Structure 1
Amino acid sequence: CHAAFEAIVSKLGRVDTLINCAAIYPRRPLLEITDAEWDASNGINIKGTYHMMAEAVRHMQSQEPKAQVRGRIVNLTSVDAFKAHPQNAHYAATKAAVVSLTRSFAHHVAKDGILVNSVAPAGMATEKAKALGFLEELAKASPLGRGAEPTEIAEWVLMTGGPKNTYMTGENVIVSGGYIYA
């Protein structure tokens, strides 16, 4: 992560926003999750997120603030962090960990003018979801009768990670189309 972040900084100079949006989503029944699957999920979904956040914070701490903010970090989590998912417990556990990391980082770097938040979408109608045949499943699970379009989630990421956010930190924005309450 360090080398990747340094390459970005050398190309862009100032980094005002980091958006962490990397994860793996392997489905496996609760009692059949292998150590390799746990390790892969933890490595990408938690460890990778942590290291990118740490690199961003180190860089942002050295920047001059703009409107009292040195930088923003937005982590993509999931509503799975808040609902029982026995068919996908290892993914849900990693997303709950990212919510906790978000709050911990937010508390630690607030004094530096760095805002850290997360956005937790429900299922999205991505190309991958379409290819895997998940659209019907998403529609059945959502009170709105469909999965979110990626642009609908992107609006919330832009709000939390963009210049209009000068105060919110340590928050998790749930964008589930009512799924979380269904």
Structure 2
Amino acid sequence: MATQLPTQQDILDSLQDDHECYLKLINRLNDEEQQTPFTPEGWSVKDFLSHMSYYKAATRMLIVAYTHDQPLPPVMLSGDEGNEEAREMDKGLSLPQVRNYWEETHMHLTHVVADELDDETLKEEVRTPWDEDITEPLCTIVASICEHDAEHFELIDQYFEVGK
């Protein structure tokens, strides 16, 4: 039995859910809490927001290139190596800069999905931003970014009890 691919509306709903989690998070936690490491690896909320933005920006660049018949951007570093490199690059950003980065990349990705990706285009297969050898429907790539955000927001919520 084939699984149902996410539609444009499904993805827009997921992006909206992620945005609501983000707003709840930044309104519930003060600046100090957002910058305090809380994972065994030493990651803070600020680190997670920057990390999510890194993946979202790469996904958006891939979609824009693909939908405008341009060469696809190089595959981003991913996994532990990519996460650490992105974290080091973004370490110098202030908390407001990281929040702006998250908001801008999220808004741009939402607009690209709404404006460039109808349900048929979302079914088209393209290589993922994070692996040269994996090809997936665009809808699966964008849905995985939404799930990625949701997983991180859930981890943050479990630690800080943001949803309470």
TM-score by length of 2: 0.33
Return the structure number with greater strand share: 1
From the two aligned structures, give the one with the greater helix fraction. 2
Point out the structure with max Rg over C-alpha.
Answer: 1
The TM-score with structure 1 as length reference comes to 0.31
Higher relative contact order (CA 8 A, sep 6+): 2
